[in-house]
């Protein structure tokens, strides 16, 4: 399983600290950690979503270094996971690419750190993923999370990871926990 699941790391449109809509900068550690997790759990692709030309070039340079450049020989395991990465300028562009590849509309699932009346549970999503004929794009917001407009147009909003009265995981940790809950060994 996992081969019908794609990850999307959204740098725009997301909120900043004051709840204004911004485009965040790409974080090197996000790219590496999420690609490594994605490869570990067998996801099909990892979209880095940013409209900023400078950030697109940064990600392209990073991928080139590790997949074709000096990094590929230095650390072949990094090459293996970073080749999962695709770059897209918008959520729509990523969704369109997946839908065209599958000849079927991709289901958009957004994650969030807060509860929402439309939340679906992890178990429901895990079950949906078992239908390998349908592709899913799971979106993670950087900054202070994706905007309400993004949530409104997604098909599903996944329930948050509940902490013990504290709810401030990094996006890197949230990806790791959710991939393990969705695709990891539930018997251990």
Count residues near its own copies (CB under 8 A): 38
Does position 103 bind its own copies by CB under 8 A?
no
Contact assessment for residue 1 and residue 129, using Cβ atoms and an 8 Å cutoff: yes
Contact assessment for residue 50 and residue 86, using Cβ atoms and an 8 Å cutoff: no
Site track for its own copies across 119-148, x = CB under 8 A: --xxx-------------------------
Which whole-number Å values give the CA distances from 122 to 36, 148, 150, 173, in the listed order?
Answer: 21, 21, 20, 16
CA-closest candidate to residue 66, choices 84, 44, 88: 84
Q: Among residues 53 and 187, whose Cβ is nearest to its own copies?
A: 187
Contact assessment for residue 171 and residue 142, using Cβ atoms and an 8 Å cutoff: yes
Contact assessment for residue 10 and residue 47, using Cβ atoms and an 8 Å cutoff: no
Q: Among residues 2 and 95, whose Cβ is nearest to its own copies?
A: 2
Which range in 90-98, 118-126, 132-140, 146-154 contacts its own copies by CB under 8 A?
118-126
Does position 176 bind its own copies by CB under 8 A?
yes
Chain CA centroid to CA 164, Å = 24
Question: Cβ 111 to its own copies, closest distance in Å?
Answer: 14
User: For the CA atoms of the chain, what is the radius of gyration?
Assistant: 16
Q: Among residues 58 and 113, whose Cβ is nearest to its own copies?
A: 113
On the 0-12 / 13-18 / 19+ scale of CB atoms within 10 A, 102 is middle
Q: Among residues 12 and 36, whose Cβ is nearest to its own copies?
A: 36
Site for its own copies in 26-85 (CB under 8 A): 29, 32-33, 36-37, 39-42, 77-78, 80-81
Q: Among residues 91 and 182, whose Cβ is nearest to its own copies?
A: 182
Residues that bind its own copies (CB under 8 A): 2, 29, 32-33, 36-37, 39-42, 77-78, 80-81, 121-123, 159, 161-164, 166-170, 172-177, 180-181, 184-185, 188
């Amino acid at each position: 399983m996992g081969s019908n699941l794609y990850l999307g790391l959204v740098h725009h449109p997301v909120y900043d600290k004051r709840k204004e809509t911004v485009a965040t900068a790409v974080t090197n550690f996000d790219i590496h950690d999420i690609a490594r997790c994605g490869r570990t759990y067998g996801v099909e692709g990892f979209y880095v979503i940013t409209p900023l030309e400078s950030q697109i070039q940064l990600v392209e340079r990073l991928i080139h270094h590790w997949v074709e450049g000096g990094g590929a020989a230095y650390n072949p395991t990094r090459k293996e996971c970073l080749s999962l990465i695709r770059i897209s300028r918008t959520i729509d562009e990523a969704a369109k690419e997946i839908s065209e590849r599958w000849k079927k509309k991709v289901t958009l699932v957004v994650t969030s750190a807060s509860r929402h009346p439309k939340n679906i549970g992890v178990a429901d999503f895990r079950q949906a993923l078992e239908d390998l004929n349908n592709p899913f794009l799971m979106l993670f917001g950087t900054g202070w999370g994706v905007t309400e407009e993004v949530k409104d147009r997604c098909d599903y909003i996944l329930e948050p990871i509940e902490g013990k009265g504290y709810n401030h995981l990094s996006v890197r940790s949230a990806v790791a926990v959710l991939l393990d809950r969705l695709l990891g060994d539930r018997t251990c």
